């Protein structure tokens, strides 16, 4: 297994210590992509999903990963952080990296849709507190975040 593959596995399985150890050893960290639900998922997407603020910051500042990059379903790293209730990562991405809290996926899911449908209540509260999210936005199926929260 290549070093890049080992690094991917560490990120995929949430092995923080191993990911931190391997990250500086691989080349072109910003080009490592894989399949995680769908294609074109980056280490930054997985780091955000894992709630690793330290690694997320390093990927952006040291390894030049793009915080605005989208995966194969048009999710940003913010979508991943919102899904798993990682408000500290979300706050960093919105405040420091100027990521858009109204970014939409291919199915027109905003971060609020994702957080609400996954029961990520802290993320929902944070997103609403920014004043930058529309709780009445509809995805391509006509669902609002409130409807999804009620169903989850």
Domains of the chain: 3-151 (1.25.40.20)
Taking the alpha carbons at both ends of the chain, their separation in whole angstroms is 39
- Digit-coded pLDDT (tens) for 8-58: 999 999 999 999 999 999 999 999 999 887 899 999 999 999 999 999 999
- Give dist(CA 21, CA 111) in Å, integer: 31
- Digit-coded pLDDT (tens) for 64-88: 999 999 999 999 999 999 999 999 9
The answer to whether residue 104 scores a pLDDT higher than 90 is: yes
- Identify the pLDDT of residue 37: 79
- Identify the pLDDT of residue 35: 87
pTM, rounded to two decimals: 0.95
122 C-beta neighbours (distance < 10 Å), count = 13
The answer to whether residue 131 scores a pLDDT higher than 90 is: yes
- Give dist(CA 24, CA 131) in Å, integer: 37
């Amino acid at each position: 297994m290549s070093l890049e593959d080992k690094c991917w596995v560490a990120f995929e399985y949430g092995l923080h210590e191993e990911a931190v150890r391997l990250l500086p050893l691989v080349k072109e960290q910003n080009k490592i992509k894989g399949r995680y639900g769908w294609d074109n998922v980056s280490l930054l997407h997985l780091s955000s999903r894992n709630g690793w603020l330290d690694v997320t910051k390093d990927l952006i500042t040291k390894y030049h990963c793009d915080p605005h990059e989208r995966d194969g379903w048009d999710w940003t790293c913010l979508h991943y952080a919102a899904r798993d209730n990682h408000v500290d990562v979300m706050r960093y991405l919105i405040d420091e990296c100027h990521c858009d809290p109204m970014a939409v996926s291919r199915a027109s899911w905003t971060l609020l849709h994702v957080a609400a449908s996954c029961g990520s209540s802290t993320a929902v509260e944070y997103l609403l507190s920014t004043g930058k999210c529309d709780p009445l936005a509809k995805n391509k199926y006509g669902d609002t975040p409130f409807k999804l929260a009620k169903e989850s």
